[in-house]
């Protein structure tokens, strides 16, 4: 699939009551998300609890979801780790599953230099024929992927996109300005989607699209045709829900909300725990104000 889509959902990984990956429920969730506005998925990302998944679980998840959705949507497989050699091997295996693209996160913990980041991503991209998406999320990785490094990496043929979750709109604008027109800049934060798309970004890798995908897609579509007044109204209206979904560590609130509406995705794996009673009540209070697009 050459087209990844504008609204990509960073999909949660469902677990059963034994704490095992529930592949059947994952497939049901993916189909329900496609029906509610999503055009593709980031699998085994931050929201998918990647640090708790084994490589075998990741690869089976990529394969099961792609075989289920076929060409209805794209599968972007997160194969990035803080170990370049392991990332390369996982990327090679992910390509065999039928994934449409690869997500490469800035390595956490190691705090590499910008040259180290360039060489890391260059090596992973060289190991696959698939298009690759960079993922900058300094709030989790500590290290920021600098504008100049993104521009430099964008010149590698199969590095075609970046998921920018720095929250720095000036940085994002400079990336859009400094890269080719066909390089895709995705907002990595739901709350930044409207300004990023308005500045020329491609779309969003979204969490709240689990619940309000059609509304997010409508906002993006309106922005693309210059209907900024209505798009901004949708944007402002969604902000309380976005805040609620990050009230405690992602994806705990999203899993709670999906369970609440009847899409049983189980609980999070340790060290993450589900929202406590006070947080759950606060999430409930916000959810009741929204029309939920996804259907169990």
Q: What are the start-end ranges of the H helices in the chain?
A: 23-35, 55-69, 84-96, 114-126, 138-141, 147-154, 169-178, 193-198, 209-224, 228-244, 252-260, 277-287
Structure tokens at 98: 């039928």
CA–CA distance, 248 with 16 (Å, rounded to integer): 22
Nearest alpha carbon to residue 142 among 158, 173, 166: 166
Nearest alpha carbon to residue 151 among 120, 124, 128, 118: 118
- Residue positions annotated with a catalytic role: 135, 163
**132 - beta bridge partners?**
102, 159
Distance of CA 17 to the CA centre of its chain: 25
Please answer whether residues 121 and 150 qualify as being in contact, where contact means their C-beta atoms are separated by less than 8 angstroms. Answer: no
Nearest alpha carbon to residue 94 among 47, 36, 55, 38: 55
Please answer whether residues 215 and 293 qualify as being in contact, where contact means their C-beta atoms are separated by less than 8 angstroms. Answer: yes
For the chain, what is the radius of gyration of the CA atoms? 18
């Amino acid at each position: 699939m050459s087209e990844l889509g504008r609204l990509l959902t960073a999909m949660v990984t469902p677990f059963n009551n034994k704490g095992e990956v529930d592949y059947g429920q994952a497939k049901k969730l993916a189909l329900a998300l496609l029906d509610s506005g999503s055009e593709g998925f980031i699998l085994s990302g931050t929201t998918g609890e990647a640090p708790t998944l084994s490589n075998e679980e990741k690869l089976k998840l990529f394969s099961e979801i792609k075989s289920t959705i076929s060409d209805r949507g794209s599968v972007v497989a997160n194969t990035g780790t803080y170990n370049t050699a392991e990332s390369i091997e996982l990327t090679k295996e992910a390509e065999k599953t039928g994934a449409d693209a690869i997500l490469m996160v800035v390595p956490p913990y190691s705090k590499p230099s910008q040259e180290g980041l360039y060489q890391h991503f260059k090596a992973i991209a060289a190991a696959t024929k698939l298009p690759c998406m960079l993922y900058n999320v300094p709030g989790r990785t500590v290290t920021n992927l600098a504008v100049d490094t993104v521009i430099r990496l964008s010149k590698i043929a199969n590095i075609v996109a970046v998921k920018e979750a720095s929250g720095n709109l000036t940085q994002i604008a400079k990336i859009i300005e400094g890269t080719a027109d066909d390089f895709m800049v995705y907002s990595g934060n739901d709350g930044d989607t409207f300004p990023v798309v308005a500045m020329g970004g491609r779309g969003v890798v979204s969490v709240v699209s689990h619940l309000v995908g059609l509304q997010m897609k409508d906002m993006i579509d309106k922005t693309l045709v210059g209907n900024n007044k209505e798009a901004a109204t949708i944007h402002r209206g969604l902000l309380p829900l976005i805040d609620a979904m990050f009230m405690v560590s992602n994806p705990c609130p999203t899993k709670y909300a999906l369970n609440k509406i009847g899409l049983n995705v189980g609980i999070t794996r340790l060290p993450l725990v589900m929202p406590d009673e006070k947080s759950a009540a606060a999430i409930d209070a916000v959810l009741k104000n929204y029309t939920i697009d996804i259907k169990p």
